[in-house]
Chains A and B, each alone.
Chain A
């Protein structure tokens, strides 16, 4: 027997309700699952092209092809130079689904002249974050990772300290 508590002024939100059926038509936007992973594995690169950070990633299996996935990656990156001719530095991180660039890029940088006091060597750390809302259109396991680079002949290091934290949330359609 179904018990429905309805009062003349509406539903009393202080009452308890035990749903056994399915609610439909309530709209999307519900967080259906959250997955998180962390890595402190270090990696460096002197390439001015993007390289995959292999120290960590996050995988999520969407429950429906219509779901979206909110991905948040945070961490620290250090960029450095070994020549006074390098006047500025820039480190970049990009979010990938598998081997596919999903065009979520973060960039940090600075003018070496203002912080290195003329020293040949200069290494500085920055926080980075990549936040992307993806539509993977699959119910198969999907892996999100980051690629990074330091522009020019700079060196890039991830993480500078602490951990790289990967979080993926499935959002219902």
Chain B
């Protein structure tokens, strides 16, 4: 079952930077999952498939910043 933390994480990311594509391979969210089970969209293929990277290209979306936003929700 998807946990509230994951829903808050996705909403927090969108609040901080709209239209960011982020994929989480978990049903929860914490700092470890943020660092090891999260991928970031860097582009799209011609078949409308997301191109994903292990590296977070958004310097403003640190775990600290995202967690602060999550705690407001």
Contact = CB atoms under 8 A, between A and B. Distances in A.
B61 to A, nearest CB: 12
Interface residues on A, range: 20 to 34
A147 B52 CA distance: 14
Contacts of A51: 23, 49-50, 52
A45 B52 CA distance: 11
Contacts, number: 83
A44 B1 contact: no
A155 B25 contact: no
Nearest to B13: A46
B48 A44 contact: no
Interface of B: 1-2, 6-7, 10-11, 13-15, 18-28, 41, 44-45, 47-50, 52
A108 interface: no
Given A42-B26, A51-B50, A80-B11, 6 more contacts: A42-B2, A47-B50, A49-B45, A50-B48, A82-B15, A147-B49
A13 B52 CA distance: 60
Contact of A153 (B1, B19, B52): B19
A165 to B, nearest CB: 16
A161 interface: yes
Contacts of A112: none
